[in-house]
Amino acid sequence: MRTYPAATVSMTFLVANAEDIDPAKATTIIIETEEILLVPSWNWDMWSGERIIIGFSCGQRRKDAALPEDGSEEKPSCTPLVLTDKKSQQQCTNGFDLDRASGQCLDIDECRTIPEACRGDMVCVNQNGGYLCIPRTNPVYRSPYLNPYSNIYPPPPASNYPTATRPLMCRFGYQMGENNQCVDIDECASESHQCNPTQICINTEGGYTCSCTEGYWLLEGQCLDIDECRYGYCQQLCANVPGSYSCTCNPGFTLNDDGRSCQDVNECTTQNPCVQNCVNTYGSFLCRCDPGYELEADGISCSDMDECSFSEFLCQHQCVNEPGSYYCSCPPGYVLLDDNRSCQVVLPINYAILKPSRTLWQTTTTIPPVSKQAEERYLVPAKGRCMCPAENPGCRDQPFTILYRDMDIMSGRSVPSDIFQMQATTRFPGAYYIFQIKSGNEGREFYMRQTGPISATLVMTRPVKGPRTIQLDLEMITVNTVINFRGSSVIRLRIYVSQYPF
């Protein structure tokens, strides 16, 4: 076995397990240190478990050291160089390499080891475990070969190997302060950020963030306005504005304090635009008028309604309009009935004295003069009735009773028309009755039509024009063949024909 003086020695060894060693995958390392005692040939018997002994490292003899007196050279102490199995070897993450002298993982400076790591106008900046390519014009650029993490990790322990001295540097986004401490760079305050003009800059520890203001969202690097109106932010009307929105309400509503919902306005209490009556509705109002008035085209004012123009049948005679109402009037000589529509004639009031000792009785028409002889013969047992006693010899050829009845008919009444009915109140055995018009029908406008054994009807056969008063004596003759009796009763019917069609 031979020892070689200290020199540069190339060694080839395998980084693999013994069972899958492939000489093609061997790597070469350069050792520029102490003397190395090499095994002259690869001896697989030197494999022991998890390592392979590839040689020995012997301490270097000092040049000024004296030789032994016997002239023999002292054998230096040596330690074996071993290759540790990959499974037990310490592992480093990407971007770091194992320092065999210190046993620590050190950062790989890709800016030095990778040719043209950044191209064009980009500059390579080494990072802890990687590197960055940034524009040369970036104000945060310092040097393409500075390690920003050099002040964070402690330097490896001193060794016998020569090491390069690196200056103290700060990591990316920091700069050296006055007290030689790394302080954060406020890119937003120094306007060294790269945010779009539509964005806002937010400084962070070691960097910054580009964000958007309220009412905008970030889309493909641009801050775009959010159309809040599309999402129903407002209850009624919505107007989108850059970065915000505005809610308004329809007429008749007011905006609530929340700025979004609307509340109905009661116009009837706030302003009451109606002339008479106001009815509030949801979002609006309605005007109503009192009875007898109608709403005008403007929807607010009220005008009097002329009820008399609606129909000619409201009043029997004449309709008189007044504000908000109307009333019916009758011609002179007529009175308005309780229905406030119909008119009835008022006949003259006269009093007939049938006997000096008798009381006055009222009729509604003029009673023909009563002769003195009639006064002596007839009695007045009731109002509108005269009776001639049978025991009085002067009553033998006179009607037994005279009843006074009054009626009115309108002018131009249609014919034929039944206007009055006459009927016996008592029927005697063996008697029969004859009905006839005794007097007053000189114009032959009427006739009697017998409708039963004891009844008959007065029929008007010709139109009668008024004003006119007609008096008819309607006689009912009683004939009894059993007792050989013949007598009569008279209804003196006075008919007032109006000059109006009522």
Task: Write the CA distances from 74 to 71, 256, 278, integer angstroms.
Answer: 9, 104, 128
Please determine, for residue 326, whether its predicted confidence score (pLDDT) is greater than 60. yes
The pLDDT score that the predictor gives to residue 30 is 38
477 neighbors 434 (Cβ within 8 angstroms):
yes
Residues 193-219, mean pLDDT to the nearest whole number: 86
Answer yes or no: is 144 within a domain.
no
For residue 412, being part of any structural domain is answered with: yes
Q: Which of 355, 414, 363 is nearest to 379 (CA)?
A: 355
- Rounded distance, CA 465 to CA 498, Å? 8
In a domain, 190, yes or no: no
Average pLDDT on 308-327 reads 91
Report the DSSP pairing between strands 468-480 and 485-497. Answer: antiparallel
Mark whether 372 and 489 lie in a shared domain: yes
Residue 194 structure tokens = 């790269």
Rounded CA separation 56/177 (Å): 50
417: confidence class by pLDDT, cuts 50, 70, 90 = very high
Residue 339's domain is classified under what CATH number? Answer: 2.10.25.10
Does 463 sit behind a cis peptide bond, omega within 30 degrees of 0 on the bond before it?
Answer: no
Inside any domain, residue 236: no
Hey, what amino acid is at 398? Q
In a domain, 490, yes or no: yes
Q: Say what the pLDDT of residue 70 is.
A: 57
Cβ(456)–Cβ(449) below 8 Å:
yes
Average pLDDT over residues 486-499: 90
Q: Please state, in angstroms and as integers, the Cα–Cα distance from residue 377 to each residue in 288, 371, 394, following that order.
A: 72, 10, 7
293 sits in which H/E element: strand 293-295
Residue 328's DSSP bridge partners are: 319
* Residues 449 and 467 both lie in one domain: yes
- Note whether 461 and 382 are same-domain residues: yes
Q: Is the pLDDT of residue 211 over 70?
A: yes
Most confident of 24-28, 174-178, 230-234, 472-476: 472-476
Give the pLDDT of residue 54.
52
Q: Is 48 domain-assigned?
A: yes
pLDDT confidence tier of residue 115, bands split at 50, 70 and 90: confident
Residue 336 has pLDDT above 80, yes or no: yes
CB 58 within 8 A of CB 36: yes
Instruction: Tell me whether residue 166 is in a domain.
Output: no
Span of 44-53, 275-284, 369-378, 438-447 with lowest mean pLDDT: 44-53
d(CA 479, CA 77): 187
| Choice among 30-39, 162-171, 289-298 with the minimum mean pLDDT | 30-39
Contact, 299 vs 287, CB < 8 A? Answer: yes
The residue-averaged pLDDT of 485-496 equals: 91
| 336 and 357 housed in the same domain | no
User: How many Å apart are CA 379 and CA 355, to the nearest integer?
Assistant: 8
pLDDT at 351 over 50: no
Report the pLDDT value the prediction gives residue 436, as an integer from 0 to 100. 95
Residue 326: which domain range?
Answer: 316-345
Number of domains in the chain: 4
Q: Are 375 and 367 in contact (CB under 8 A)?
A: no
User: Same domain, yes or no, for 338 and 375?
Assistant: no
Within-domain flag for 476: yes
Q: Are residues 388 and 487 in the same domain?
A: yes
pLDDT band (50, 70, 90) for residue 146: very low
The pLDDT, as a whole number, for residue 71 is 55
Element (H, E) at 268: helix 267-270
Rounded mean pLDDT, 160-164: 53
Strand, helix or coil for residue 20: helix
Token pair, residue 223, equals: 């801050």
The beta-strand segments (E) located in 59-199 are: 78-84, 96-99, 104-107, 122-127, 130-135, 174-176, 182-184
Strands 485-497 and 401-409: parallel
Read off the pLDDT of each residue in 36-48 and give the average, rounded to a whole number. 38
Final residue in a domain of this structure, among 296, 330, 345: 345
Asked if residue 471 and residue 399 are part of one domain, the reply reads yes
Do 389 and 379 form a contact (C-beta atoms < 8 A)? yes
Tell me the percentage of the chain whose pLDDT exceeds 90.
31
Does residue 49 register a pLDDT over 50? Answer: no
Which CATH number does the domain housing residue 454 bear? Answer: 2.60.40.60
Q: Are residues 290 and 320 located together in one domain of the fold?
A: no
Check: CB of residue 331 under 8 Å from CB of residue 317. yes
Q: Are 36 and 104 in contact (CB under 8 A)?
A: no
Q: Which residues, 6 or more positions from 296, have their beta carbon under 8 angstroms from its beta carbon? A: 302, 303
Are 323 and 422 in the same domain?
no
The mean pLDDT value of the chain amounts to: 75
pLDDT at 75 over 60: no
- pLDDT by residue (tens digit) across 246-256? 999 999 999 99
Residue 297 and residue 328 in one domain: no
In this predicted structure, what is the pLDDT of residue 304? 93
Q: What pLDDT, on a 0 to 100 scale, did the predictor assign at position 58?
A: 53
What's the full length of the chain, in residues? 502
More confident residue, 473 or 41: 473
Asked whether residue 372 carries a pLDDT value surpassing 50, the answer given is no
pTM: 0.38
Q: Would you place residue 176 in the very low, low, confident or very high pLDDT band (cuts 50, 70, 90)?
A: confident
Residue 105: pLDDT over 80:
yes
361, 476: one domain = yes
Task: Tell me the average pLDDT across 434-443.
Answer: 94
Shared domain for 369 and 444, answered yes or no, is yes
Handedness of CA 389, 394, 400, 405 (dihedral sign): negative
